[in-house]
Structure 1
Amino acid sequence: MADDFSEYFRLLSDLGNPVYYSLFLTITISVLIFLFFKYVLFPLRKKHIVEKKELELKNVRLMALFAELDPNPLIRVNADGIVIHINDAAKNLGKDAPIVGEKINKIIPSINFPIDDCIKKDQPVVFTETINNKFYSILFRGIAYLNIAQIYFDDLTERKQFEEELQSSKVKLRELSEHLRNTLEDERQRIARELHDGVGQNLHLIRLKLKTIEESQSKDFSEKDYATLFNSIESSINELKEIIYNLKPKNLDEIGLGPSLRILTKRISDETGIKGSIDIYGSEERLNKRLELTLYRLTQEALSNIVKHSMAKEFNIQVMNNKEIIKLLISDDGIGFDPADTNSKSNSSGFGLLNMQERISTYNGKLKIDSSQGNGTVIITEIPKEETINE
């Protein structure tokens, strides 16, 4: 027993014992691991946390800077849907009441979805909303690492108004096209009726008279018979001239715009009893045929509206031709009208004005209407000279 104890003590006191080597190695590794964690890993982790926070803070500052620079409204909310920040452009969304501190769904009713879920999932939501008479496309974007959401506004009011105006113009053009088709058909029927009732009847009478003479045994042909035939032929010629003139004024090609408008003014005055006058300022040089016809038709359209709707006693036409523009001004002392009423489909004068506008737009011109109930009407047409050079 004593020998065993001595042997055990000898082995324990022997420095070459492998147990000591294992123990030393274990302690050394443990110390090294401790030192690595304390002086390497922990500082790196701490540095990473600090850098991450600095980066998040930098991102927040950048987001705030971009938000302030953004001309469109921008709102930031927390997970509870409370507004925590807005840029200057967003201040107008709340009218007189402050926005910060309010629930976002009070300002934007369309935000009725779980905000915290969108934030946790970094989920974007896109929708539209009308706020204070402005139409916005809104992007709601959750930002999980900041536990907030940013709401971006894109003002589409002007684009929506443009689309509505474009759609309205398309409707007006369709209605104008329909009106022009109906007018063309009415004009065809009118010409057919005038040819049938006037020229046709006269030619029929001439034919019957000649047939009677042919079948008569008597060769006597009195002056009265000659006069009847002559008057019938003369009447037919005059009616044909009238129809042709209404289709295309011959004078316009021969004598130009100014003299043709003077003839038109006198003709309208004589036929309707409305006193008309015309003043021409500047050069009366010939314009290109297409432009002269356009201005002539515009005047015809305006005078037709005066005769049909204005109850005027007088009208005046002014033509101003200078180096830069050609201006046509037509005024009357009639009952006037509200220009907004011309949008009505049942208003025939509205189609006439729209037709005038379409004619002028070909030359990049402008049509202005100054009228109100009881105060007469002034229609001003302006066409830039350079738009007519290459016609």
Structure 2
Amino acid sequence: MADNVSFALDHFDREALRCHTEAALRASEARLQEAQAVGRIGDWELERETGAMTWSPELFHLFERPLEMGAPDLDEALAYYEPDTREQTRARFRHAMETGERCELEQTIILPSGAVRHHTTQIVPLKDADRWVYKLFGTVQDITERMLTEQQLRRKTLEIEDLYQNAPCGYQSIDADGVIIRINDTALNWLGYAREEVVGRMRVTDILSPDSQPVFLDQFLRLKQTGLLQSLELELIRSDGSRLPVQVDSTAILDTAGHFVATRTMLSDNSARKQLEIERAAHEARLAELSRHMVDVQENERRKLAGELHDRASPNLAALQLTLSNLACALPASVLAELEPMLGDAQALLLDTATGIREICTNLRPATLDYAGLIPALQDYAQQFARRTGIAVRLDLAPLKTQLLPNVQSLLFRIAQEALTNCAKHADAGTIHLQLAETDDALIMKISDDGVGFDSCLLGESGSRPGLGLITMKERAEFAGGRFTITSNPESGTEITVTFDLHALNTLWKTRQHPSRRASDRLLQAGPGLL
């Protein structure tokens, strides 16, 4: 009985150990399958004698093969691969069987869904005691994402190298001794040297003009200390002896201890930039002169037309009004009673026409602007505008200490006129506030309203309103050397600010006091863009 009990206990222990071992094996297989799924890697075996293959579950997933179909044989498995890859894989399997050597290869497969994937296969021969290969074991891993990443990395690397070598500016690096250790193709083409002649063989001072060498050495020392060098103008000597003006900007490369190692240096060809600046300055001067002349002509024409309307049409209308009055007095009472309504209509029409002509003259060129100056002209126009539109205009016009040029006064008046007209057309405002003030260094005019406002980001875009009037005001202000800003949001009104530098205006005023100077000389002294 004791022996039976002991046997039973041993059996129970062995059964418990077997169950524990099977559970551990199942857990290990589960972890292996999870690891293979995460790594997108499956394993297989191929029996040499029978040609039978076994696949892990992940391998079925990689090849989109249902588990119920079972593992394929070698020929069926190779059918997944592209023709070139298929023959290469078959040859590698044969070679591993015959030589017993491990091998690795990359393959391209076409899945049943039509997707193209890239795999890497490891082939490991298993040998018996006689070193005869009786089985092949291996793994298959999906490396499609890795290959795509590597391709993108290679493409980015090539793009960066191309950007560095063929950038429209020169790049170079120099070490602590001033030796050129890296230089791009653009700079080499500028200088006319081969890379082998420069890299590691030349110092920067070897290609600098005598005048630039001390400047560079002084700034190079500062670069080592501060880590930054900006907008340093130097002259390089090309291989043919000609000179190239450049602008140099550098930052320092430091090691982990903070010690200087090398520079990152950008070279900009200043010769083309300087030539463009000269041409642009000449063009701007010519454009400013033409624009100033155009504005002068326009204002003269406005003044002439307003004068002709006032001098010819207004007296004739007044005479006609007097004639109608005399005619009414000369008519018999019976006839006057019959014609009086018609005469009253004619006199009212004449009065309205005379008022309209006065408004047209004011819009064309207010006489107040010529004879009294900017502030009275703005006051008169604001009254007329309020009377015509019903929009209240609040004025805050401080007396000016600076004497303004007539065309600057005309410009400010036109901007104010355009702003008020814009408010009447688009703002749906109840009140407009017009301010003119002078600070120590600036003349500022502000026009604000309590209207509907608009999105200022859309200014000038097709279909947006308002647009052309604001753009015209901006161009007028900037043409005269001023700054034009606009602030507006829907439902919160609009504010326009025009600012002029008083020093520039004073300089221009003093220049205009010397009529003997040529127009081009006055323009150059006043600065491009000033009236």
Q: Pick the structure with more helix per residue.
A: 1
TM exceeding 0.5: no
Which has the bigger relative contact order, CA under 8 A and spacing at least 6?
1
- Into which bin does the TM-score normalised by the smaller protein fall? 0.3 to 0.5
